[in-house]
Structures are given as C-alpha cells and as structure tokens.
C-alpha cells in the first residue's frame, strides 16, 4: 500500500515510472527529497541510468552512467548479455541452456542436465503495443466471461 501511495505521488508530480518491483523503482527524474534517506520506507539512489531495457517483471538490463551493466533475468541468471535485450525488445526470442541439478533420492544421486530456457517478451497478462517494430509499452487485459479484451487506456 505504501508503494502505491508513492507511485500516485510521483505520477501527480509528472514523474514517469519505467519499472518497479517490491523494493525498487526506476523513474525518469529525481524524486522528492522527503522520499530519500536511510529510514524504513525511504529510497536511496543506487544507479543513474544511461540506457535500459525493461522487458517484463524480473527481466531487464541497465547501463549506468559510469559504465556498469546490471542484468536481471529470473531463472537464467547472468547468462544474457546487454546487447541481447535489443533482440527481446524487438519481440524476438532467445534460447539459452541452463544447467539444473535434479535429486534422485531413490538412487542417492544428483543428476545434472541442461534445460533450454525460452526467453521472450511475451506476457500473457498484458497486451503488447509495438512501435517501429519494437515493444513500446503494454496495456492491461480484461477477462470477461472467458473473453480477453484490451482495456482502453
């Protein structure tokens, strides 16, 4: 609930929100000083971003102004490179092998297998809107008696 209050305040101030998660938010400009600090519920500046791709929740890449690259890809770890996010933003998929360990208690062994992860921008919870062959933004979907409709925004 606290994050929603912050979001609404930032929107009222004309600040664009590019991405958010449980404990973080990425915006296009400085947030008000009263929201910054070390106390619980306040924000701290972790990075100033030069370039970023936000594909879906927990799938993004950032390049900071000091040249540091931060890549988050849940389930695949750091196996993606920054440049590959350009492929994802064009709505093209990437396939990566991910080593996984499987316990076999009956035989007292652990088996290691490569699982092929299919990574894409497809999100079944939102309608993708493309501009110039790139994913520009998404719109919420409404499910009404088994029919999926686009919500007009």
Residue 134: is its pLDDT beyond 90? no
The pLDDT-based confidence of 144 (bands split at 50, 70, 90) is low
Three-state secondary structure of the chain: CHHHHHHHHHHHCCCCEEEEECCEEEECCCCCHHHECCCCCCECCCCCEEEEEEEECCEEEEEECCCCEEEEECCCCCCCCCCHHHHHHCCCCEEEEEEEEEEECCCCEEEEEEEEEEECCCCCCEEEEEECCEEEEEEEEEEECCEEEECCC
pLDDT of 13 reads 94
pTM of the model: 0.64
Average pLDDT for 15-30:
85
The chain-wide mean pLDDT, for the chain, equals 81
Residue 77: is its pLDDT beyond 70? no
pLDDT of 108 reads 93
């Amino acid at each position: 609930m606290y994050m929603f209050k912050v979001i609404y305040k930032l929107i009222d101030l004309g600040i664009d929100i590019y991405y958010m998660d449980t404990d973080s938010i990425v915006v296009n400009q400085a947030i008000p000083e009263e929201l910054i600090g070390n106390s619980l519920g306040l924000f701290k500046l972790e990075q100033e971003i030069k370039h970023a791709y936000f594909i879906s929740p927990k799938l993004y890449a950032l390049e900071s102004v000091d040249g540091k690259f931060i890549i988050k890809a849940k389930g695949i770890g750091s196996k993606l490179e920054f440049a590959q996010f350009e492929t994802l933003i064009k709505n093209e998929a990437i396939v990566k092998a991910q080593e996984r360990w499987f316990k076999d208690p009956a035989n007292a062994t652990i088996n290691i297998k490569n699982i092929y992860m299919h990574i894409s921008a497809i999100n079944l919870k939102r309608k993708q809107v493309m501009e110039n062959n790139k994913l520009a933004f998404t719109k919420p979907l409404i499910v009404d008696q088994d029919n999926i409709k686009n919500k007009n925004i």
